[in-house]
A = this chain, B = another copy of it.
Amino acid sequence: MATSMSTEECARQILEVVPLVMRDIRCELRSLRTAELTVPQFRALFFVSRNIDASLSQVADHMGLTLPSTSRLVDELIKHHLMTRQEHPTDRRRVKLAVTSQGLIILEASRNRTLKYLAEKLERTNCDERRAMVAVMRALRSVFDKTAKQV
């Protein structure tokens, strides 16, 4: 071991493997009929559940989307009664987003199911491998998360 590792080789591996894992997550999120959420819907719902009264801009920023795209995404969630949109009390340009009780139920169900699914897959790994994974996820987050403030 201890041969040097280029950023290029590391990038190659990431570019091959990350979309693979993502595909699996996406499939799983979509598979339960009672809680059909796309990945963007899941992420938006999750963000707002952790950031009560978030504005549209904040969600867009977190998701890396434009405002129109985010507005549409929120439209969908509201149509499905998973989120609400209210006027901001002091700045009438802004909106206050919140997750409905039904949204919370769906969100947690989706999240728990997906986590369970992933955890089951990870049974094939050993403790050392999982520790390495968690360490790597932390490192990747510090590299890729612009906002980098969410715990």
Contact = CB atoms under 8 A, between A and B. Distances in A.
A137 to B, nearest CB: 4
26 contacts: A1-B131, A5-B127, A7-B122, A9-B130, A10-B122, A10-B134, A11-B122, A13-B133, A13-B134, A14-B21, A15-B25, A15-B111, A15-B114, A16-B141, A17-B138, A17-B141, A18-B22, A19-B22, A19-B43, A20-B144, A23-B63, A24-B64, A129-B136, A132-B136, A132-B139, A133-B139
Contacts of A9: 130, 134
Copies in the complex: 2
Interface of A: 1, 4-25, 27, 39, 43, 63-64, 111, 114-116, 118-125, 127, 129-145
